[in-house]
Amino acid sequence: MEVKIGVQYAPREIVLESGQSVEEVERLVSEALAGKTPLLSLEDEKGRKILVPADRLAYVEIGQPTVRKVGFGA
């Protein structure tokens, strides 16, 4: 699943492909925004961790990845 994270004062968003479920990502974001944890910690499909300070989150977009078609259309 594709996750886009907007960070305050950063010109670009963070985009990652995560193997975590929608519910799990939503729970982690909610906990970070509620102040239960100082960092939003997500893991991408390659096992890398992405840490974002909770007080710098602008938005989090959770969705399915877009399928890119290869070749020519008729």
Q: What is the pLDDT of residues 9-67, one digit of tens each?
A: 999 999 999 988 899 999 999 999 999 999 999 999 999 999 999 999 999 999 876 56
Q: Which domain holds residue 56?
A: 2-63
Q: Half-sphere exposure (CA, 13 Å, Cβ side) for 26?
A: 5
pTM of this structure = 0.79
- Residue 42 is assigned to a structural domain of this protein: yes
- Residue 38 is assigned to a structural domain of this protein: yes
User: What domain count does the chain have?
Assistant: 1
- Edge-to-edge strand order for the sheet containing 14-17? 14-17, 2-7, 57-63
- Residue 69 is assigned to a structural domain of this protein: no
- Residue 59 is assigned to a structural domain of this protein: yes
The phi, psi pair for 39, rounded to 5°, reads -125, 145
- 43 in helix, strand or coil? strand
- Residue 71 is assigned to a structural domain of this protein: no
- Residue 72 is assigned to a structural domain of this protein: no
Q: Which of these, 41, 1, 4, lies nearest to 21 by C-alpha position?
A: 1
- Residue 51 is assigned to a structural domain of this protein: yes
